[in-house]
Amino acid sequence: MSTRHPDLFVAWQDTVERGIYPVARLRVEDADQPIYEFRYIQGALEAKTRGFVAFESFPQLSQTYRGHELFPFFKNRVMPPNRPDYAGYVAELGLSVETANPLSLLARSGGVRATDRLEIYAAASDDASASVWYFLLRGIRHLPPSAEARSSSLKPGDSLYVMRDVQNSYNHRALLLRSDDNVNLGYVPDLLVDDLASLDLSPENFKVTVSQVNPRPSPIGHRVLCHVQLRWPDGRKPFMSERFAPLG
């Protein structure tokens, strides 16, 4: 069997200190019929010290869960195709109705719901000499109004520049993205910053471009879709540290 889809990681947020912890992994193997595999990962043990508890759908941290259909836990985080606004939702994520599927939608949207503190992240894919992934620009609402105003004027292909936000009170490893005219726009997702903390983030190694801009009335969390190409030294890859290793 071969894995066609990138792994999806589930992240949980501590509401007290707002830390982001990877807690589980969904892997999909393609055979005559897909096999979906859910496992908790080492990050769940760290999150447990902050109040995380196993999900009701997957009650045992050490167990591997498999099935031939996508688990409702994930399926319920994707807009159903029969919704009248489905086509617009898919377009905001830079995908097409013809080719989009629940896994690709989760990878782009994050599967965020108002009823919990979870988000889905896709592992990076490899493109020749670089790792590639997409993410929606985070934290626009936490910056001055200039961030939203400037983000609305971005164009596909515009370069964004990264700055380490060491004085960030919630995460001293936070990575702030700014425009070419030095307007702070938003953040790289927190789940990625630990892997990036020790890397050279010069434009030659860490290239962020605007893939798509969604004007109002798109929600602010869907305003800017970013594309990243990252060159890793010595064969390193994102999402490969010990905290992403499966339990059990």
Which tokens is 77 given? 């985080």
Average of per-residue pLDDT across 128-151:
86
- At residue 129 the predicted structure's pLDDT band, cuts being 50, 70 and 90, is low
Alpha-carbon span 215 to 193, nearest angstrom: 27
pLDDT at 171: 81
SS3 of 175, please? strand
pLDDT, tens digit, for every residue of 26-74?
A: 999 876 688 999 999 999 999 999 999 999 999 999 999 999 999 999 9
User: What's this model's pTM, rounded to 2 decimal places?
Assistant: 0.87
Q: Are 24 and 47 in contact (CB under 8 A)?
A: no
Query: With pLDDT > 70 as the criterion, what percentage of the chain qualifies?
Result: 95
Question: Phi then psi for 168, rounded to 5 degrees?
Answer: -65, 125
Q: Judge whether residue 206 has pLDDT over 80.
A: yes
CA 191 to chain centre: 7
pLDDT at 166: 83
Residue boundaries of the structural domains of the chain: 8-123, 126-235
Question: Of the ranges 136-145, 150-159, 213-222, which one carries the lowest mean pLDDT score?
Answer: 213-222
pLDDT at 2: 47
| Average of per-residue pLDDT values in the chain | 88
Query: With pLDDT > 90 as the criterion, what percentage of the chain qualifies?
Result: 55
Q: Are 160 and 226 in contact (CB under 8 A)?
A: yes
CATH of segment(s) 126-235: 3.30.70.2330
pLDDT at 133: 85
pLDDT at 4: 63
pLDDT at 6: 82
